[in-house]
Amino acid sequence: MVIVIHQSSSTQNAMFYNEKKVVQKKALFFKSGNTPTINPFAGTKHDRLNILKDIENGNARVKKKGLHISLNPTVADLVKLGDTGIRSEIGNLMDHLGYGNQPFFVFKHTDLDRTHFHIVSTRIDCQTGKKIKDTYEKEKVQRFIKSIEQKYDLTKERNQAQSNLKFSAGSRNLKQNLESLFYQLNQIDSVSNKQLYNKSLELFNVEVRRSGRGHVVLITDGNGNPVRYPIRLSELEERPRSYVSVKAGQEIQSTWPAIDKFELAQWARDVNRLIEKSKDSNLEINHFIEKRKKQKRIR
């Protein structure tokens, strides 16, 4: 069992990401809790978002209000718990982290080889309007994982290839893992311009270069030498925000101020945290990814 709390400052982005997967038939509405209506999934995505935004609007001081958690059971975990057990343990997880009274929505994703679940809620307390304390969240998650592993006699599964975001010539599931890296970096506020984004990518042996009217993504040996065949950026669903285009071949031009030492220090701190997370054996990096080969076979 792998549980990841994502760095998401935008509740809307987290909600609409999952809603988009439902529209694409790559995810299902799975569970909701503490909502004002019995079946909030009968309404629109804006109705569901407004349940959380109405709470958040009462606190303008907190910047990162969104709560976005992914729960990634192994195949054996799914067999032992089933949907009923997963629903129950998601409720227990919310209680354990201090969000037991919060409205939340759960989406069951089926677009990967392994079924996984996404939980979207808010960090603003629906009763007090204050931010719910999030200290020691990582430790709390690990204690929860250990408790359910003991409760259901689950077998720990380790996959070193999926626990390190640093790419190499032998990296598997390349498109999926690149999209995961881009998604993670897109959530880091301190990666605020193209220069810092490129420096962040270099730490993972990834480089984006112009090719013709667009861009390609390259895996390098750490010294700028490509070691894999390039992938066109247009083939990826999740892309670096610094390379979003207005139209094909036309890159958004933004004028950024010079990077001061404080901004550079913030960038180094936040990217180092991402690197440490990627080294953690409990980090499942195949999130928010389209399984294109599987789709092509189905078509």
Residue 125 in tokens = 């307390």
Q: How many CA atoms lie within 13 A of 68 on its CB side?
A: 21
Give dist(CA 82, CA 90) in Å, integer: 12
Give DSSP secondary structure letters for 88-129. Answer: HHHHHHHHHHT-TTS-EEEEEE-SSSS-EEEEEEESB-TTT-
E-strand ranges in 22-103 read: 27-33, 66-72
The two counts, helices (H) then strands (E), for the chain are: 8, 10
Please tell me the predicted confidence (pLDDT) of residue 243.
77
The per-residue pLDDT for 107 is 97
Phi, psi values for residue 87, rounded to 5°: -60, -45
Query: What is the rounded CA–CA span in Å between residue 44 and residue 39?
Result: 11
Which pairs with CB-CB distance under 8 Å and at least 24 residues apart come from 235-239?
235/175, 235/292, 236/175, 236/178, 236/179, 236/182, 237/179, 237/289, 237/290, 238/179, 238/180, 238/182, 238/183, 238/186, 238/288, 238/289, 239/182
Count of CA atoms in the C-beta half-sphere (13 A) of 151:
14
Distance CA 162, CA 172 (A): 9
Strand order through the sheet with 2-5: 2-5, 66-72, 116-122, 104-109, 27-33
From residue 88, alpha-carbon distances to 84, 156, 216, 249, 294 in Å are 6, 20, 44, 49, 31
Task: Extract the tokens encoding 111.
Answer: 């677009």
Strands of 214-219's sheet, edge to edge? 206-211, 214-219, 231-232
Q: How far is CA 35 from the centre of its chain?
A: 24
Secondary structure of 179-206 as H, E, C letters: HHHHHHHHCCCCCCCHHHHHHHHHCCCE
| pTM across the whole model | 0.59
The first and second tokens of residue 118, run together, are 């996404």
Nearest to 109 by CA among 297, 298, 291: 291
pLDDT values of the chain reduced to their tens digit, one per residue, 299 residues: 889 888 666 899 999 989 999 998 989 999 999 999 999 999 999 999 999 999 999 999 998 999 999 998 888 898 889 999 999 999 999 999 999 999 999 999 986 557 889 999 999 999 999 999 999 998 999 999 999 999 998 866 544 334 456 788 777 778 878 887 888 788 787 777 888 888 888 888 899 999 888 899 999 987 788 888 899 998 888 888 877 654 433 443 444 445 555 666 666 666 666 666 654 433 343 443 344 445 445 54
- How many Å apart are CA 69 and CA 107, to the nearest integer? 11
